[in-house]
Amino acid sequence: MPSSPAVIGVDSSTQSTKAVVVDAASGRVLAMGRAAHTVSGSDGARESDPEQWWRALTEAVAEALRGLDPRAVTGIAVAGQQHGLVVLDGAGRPLRPAVLWNDTRSAPQAAALTRELGAQGWLDRTGSVPVASMTAAKWRWLRENEPAAADAAAAVRLPHDFLTERLGGVAATDPGDASGTCWYSTATGAYDPFLLELLELDEGLLPAVAPGGATAVGVLTPAAAKELGLPEGIPVAAGTGDNMAAAVGLGLGRAGLLDHPVVSLGTSGTVFAVTRTRAATAALAGFAAADAPGTYLPLGCTLNCTLAVDKVAALLGLDREDAAPGGEAVLLPYLDGERTPDLPRASGLLTGLRHATTPQQLLGAAYEGAAFTVLRALDALPGAAGEDVPLRLVGGGAQGRTWVETVRRLSGRAVTVPRTTELVALGAAALAAGAATGEDPVAVATAWGTGDGETLPPVERDHATWGRIAAALDTYVSLGAL
């Protein structure tokens, strides 16, 4: 006899794929598998072969299922890195490597698109102003630089769409991930015909938009079932983007908490909240939430977070935790350009160096510069709860002592660190449970308690350090970092 019902949530990120098998009733993680990705490129280019995402998914699922009864699995969902551009031929195979979210080559195209419609025009339609990260800018870049590939495209997908289609054989996406393209309108809840014409993009190349990430858009095909070792015919959820899935995993949405700010520290740094207020400010990306309609995920995103700080630690020959407050030193670790603020051509900046400055202070200054850049977006979140509400701190950095203490010191706020570390994968598992049972995925995640954790009290805010970093950034911009 099969075991009690289980679901699989997949987190396909920039660097790796993780798959968790979760007991559908309790939320207990039964097993997890992981497989790495390769990212290539230099001088702003960041690309990956989408086929390796599929191979990594099959490897991660196989590892997670080892020793378990696959007949117990009743649903599967994918959460993926946002914004990546995947172009496919008529057989569903990639025409070229995917252009990833952190590829900054499309910065000129993003600027041109903004000029063509005006920042407010984009905000009114999509909730976001194009930056190099957005898929629309990447499509314009492809049309201008590789027109043969653009003309040959039989399908255009986001990373999670590509994997969902491989699982269920259906071209589908969700409002959350679609809202990161800049060709989907959060005002109308559909693709925007005017923007598609502006971008020279045929809507027939795009996947259908399901009502929400937990919608069952198909069932596991015989081919996918054979590769994964799972029963064919189990529901495949629409899935969503990684940030939207993390929000579900935290229990944020209509059936859970609204307006509670989250700070995520990973390859990128993000701040977001699930709200009923549609964002319309250039300081944020005005995404939809995975349980849309009626909820939104206004989000500020930076390019340089944990990987940038780890690079500084490696350059200094220090362990990542061997850091001290930066003192007079200010280090803006914009090693890959920056998205927020929109400085695609920026590089790292170090100022305030003294004879007495130690390597540990330089590393601490890198932490401070990265944390400042993320936290500065908090004030722009519409409807987000006041400073008496703890920040929910997630991502890989939330497991690091120095990251946590730096965020506490620069924000002056209490911080809740969830016990669960794989919130994106668990959010995807909740979407899979929703597809299998019809339950609200946020209610499922809330019942599982995946967002619960320890709350650390506030400490006195370090206004002096905040002011030094803000002044250095203002000077940097004025000297031509743009």
Which tokens go with 270? 């993000």
- The residue among 451, 430, 401, 391 whose CA lies nearest residue 271 is 391
| Residue 72 included in any domain | yes
* Distance between CA atoms of residues 345 and 176, nearest Å: 28
Which tokens go with 116? 């063509």
| Residue 423 included in any domain | no
DSSP state of 156: E
- 38-70 residue pLDDT tens: 999 988 999 999 999 999 999 999 999 999 999
| Residue 395 included in any domain | no
Identity (one letter) of the amino acid at 377? A
Buried b (16+ CB within 10 A) or exposed e, 413-436: bbbbbbebbbbbbbbbbbbbbbbb
* Distance between CA atoms of residues 432 and 215, nearest Å: 9
| Residue 401 included in any domain | no
- 240-249 residue pLDDT tens: 999 999 999 9
Angle between helices 159-168 and 50-65 (to 10 degrees): 60
Which pLDDT does position 377 carry in this prediction? 87
Number of structural domains in the chain = 1
* Distance between CA atoms of residues 386 and 274, nearest Å: 14
Handedness of CA 87, 145, 129, 480 (dihedral sign): positive
Which pLDDT does position 1 carry in this prediction? 39
C-alpha distance from residue 427 to each of 8, 105, 417 (Å): 10, 31, 16
- Catalytic-labelled residue, pool 174, 177, 192, 242: 242
Q: What is the CATH number of the domain that holds 97?
A: 3.30.420.40
Which tokens go with 147? 């027109």
The answer to whether residues 237 and 76 touch, using CB atoms and an 8 Å cutoff, is: yes
| Residue 354 included in any domain | no
- Beta carbons within 8 Å of 138's beta carbon, 6+ residues apart: 83, 84, 85, 99, 103, 106, 109
* Structural domain boundaries enclosing 10: 6-256
Give the HSE-up count for residue 372: Cα atoms under 13 Å, Cβ half-sphere. 25
* Distance between CA atoms of residues 301 and 266, nearest Å: 11
| Residue 58 included in any domain | yes
| Residue 470 included in any domain | no
Q: What is the mean pLDDT of each run of 10 residues along the chain (482 residues)?
A: 84 95 97 96 93 98 96 98 97 97 94 96 95 96 98 98 98 97 95 98 98 96 97 97 95 84 91 88 90 86 93 98 97 90 89 97 98 91 75 93 97 94 95 96 95 94 97 87 51
Q: What angle do CA 328, 331, 337 make, to 5 degrees?
A: 160
pTM of the model: 0.90
Phi, psi of 56 (to 5 degrees): -65, -40
- Name the 3-class secondary structure at 67: coil
Which tokens go with 255? 């059936």
Instruction: Count CB atoms within 10 A of the CB of residue 299.
Output: 27
Buried b (16+ CB within 10 A) or exposed e, 438-450: ebbbbbbbbbbeb
| Residue 100 included in any domain | yes
Q: Is 322 assigned a catalytic role?
A: no
Which pLDDT does position 384 carry in this prediction? 63
- Beta carbons within 8 Å of 29's beta carbon, 6+ residues apart: 20, 21, 22, 23, 422, 426
Name the residue with tokens 């049309």.
Answer: 143
